[in-house]
Amino acid sequence: MILIDACYKKPTSHTPVWLMRQAGRYMKEYRDLRAKVSFLELCKSPELVCETTVFACETIKADAAIIFADILLITEILGFQLEFAKNHGPIIHNPFTPSHTFPTHIEHEALHYVGHALSATRKELPKHKALIGFAGAPFTVATYCIEGGKSKDFAKVFALMKDHPDAFHGLLSQITDATISYLQMQTQHGADCIQLFDSWVGLLSPEQYQEFVAPYVKRIFNQIQNKPTIYFGTKTKHLLQTMVQTGPTVIGLDSDVSIKTMWPELSYHPIQGNLDPLILLEDQSTIFKETDRILAEVGQRDGYIFNLGHGIVPQTPVENVIALIQYVHEKTAK
């Protein structure tokens, strides 16, 4: 698999490409499906997840598929009441407080619908295409548990960090333990690679990262030894060197990072990234020009996976996504 080879800095016939949120609202077929089922119903149906994941990958001709799921599914087995409200996003109805009690027995089997979806998808996906499983990193999942959903200022998160650090560490430890079991289950059901999403970790200072993030992420990567791993967060340029030290096979780069500048600072550790998703709203000549700039910064060096700096935005024309991937494949063919 070309993506797996790139993770391990092996030579590849072209630069592998997959895109975050490649199965999503920018596709009419996905919108049509979501008009019939809720987001959680879709996530919990292995048949629909398989169909959605494979269709997206094959339509845009990506080199890998990422299983359709959500980073917050894991919160349900930790006793949180999760809802995805229309036009609002995720809601945790019983947010975490210092007096929170976790279930005495975590029912990991309750997430096996993700495993069944992975097994079905691996069978349907062409053998040369990698299947990526994923989870949210402990800190990012914790922010939703504490805030009760999305947040603009993360005031509750920072207050808990400052006033009740032991409670915060307790929450992170619970999420970490559950995440390790969850990801091990994913690799057993056909995931060829694992991505850990740490969407909000860029909020932290290097000192806060070392205290509240690094130990838990290291534990996860230490337990996923048999598959390559990708670690991604947004607005993390001040943390990237520390993030690499937690042990991922590949580090994802946001769009605000220069590969030319940053890659040497990371000792040419395998990277993934980092086209600005908003570029895909432009005309194709603009898309190709920006893609050329990134590929020129990469040069002929192995250990690179082309991706966006974040997920595809809903307004993106499908034809632009298809054209981008075809362009990268043709431009980098050896």
Q: Which residues are part of the catalytic machinery? A: 21, 25, 34, 70, 144
CA dist 42 and 56 (Å) reads 15
Radius of gyration of the chain (CA): 19
The position carrying tokens 């008009």 is 35
Residue pair 195/66 in contact (Cβ under 8 Å)? The answer is yes
The gap from C-alpha 306 to its chain's centroid, in whole angstroms, comes to: 14
User: Could you please report the per-residue DSSP string of 11-68?
Assistant: --SS--B--TT-SSTTSHHHHHHHTTS-HHHHHT-HHHHHHHHHHHHHHHT-SEEE--
Could you identify the residue written with the tokens 């879709």?
A: 42
Q: How far apart are CA 157 and CA 162, in angstroms?
A: 9
Q: How far apart are CA 198 and CA 96, in angstroms?
A: 19
Token pair of 8, please?
């391990």
Q: What's the CA gap between 238 and 21, in Å, rounded?
A: 25
- Residue 328: name the closest of 219, 320, 196 by CA: 320
Q: Which of 79, 83, 84 is nearest to 96 (CA)?
A: 79
Q: Which residue has the tokens 């993106």?
A: 316
Alpha carbon dihedral 177, 182, 187, 189, in 10-degree steps, equals: 150
Pair 131, 125: CB distance under 8 Å: yes
Residue 333 makes CB contacts below 8 A (sequence gap 6+) with 13, 14
The tokens of 169 are what?
Answer: 């560490």
**Backbone phi and psi for residue 304, each to the nearest 5 degrees, phi listed first:** -130, 135
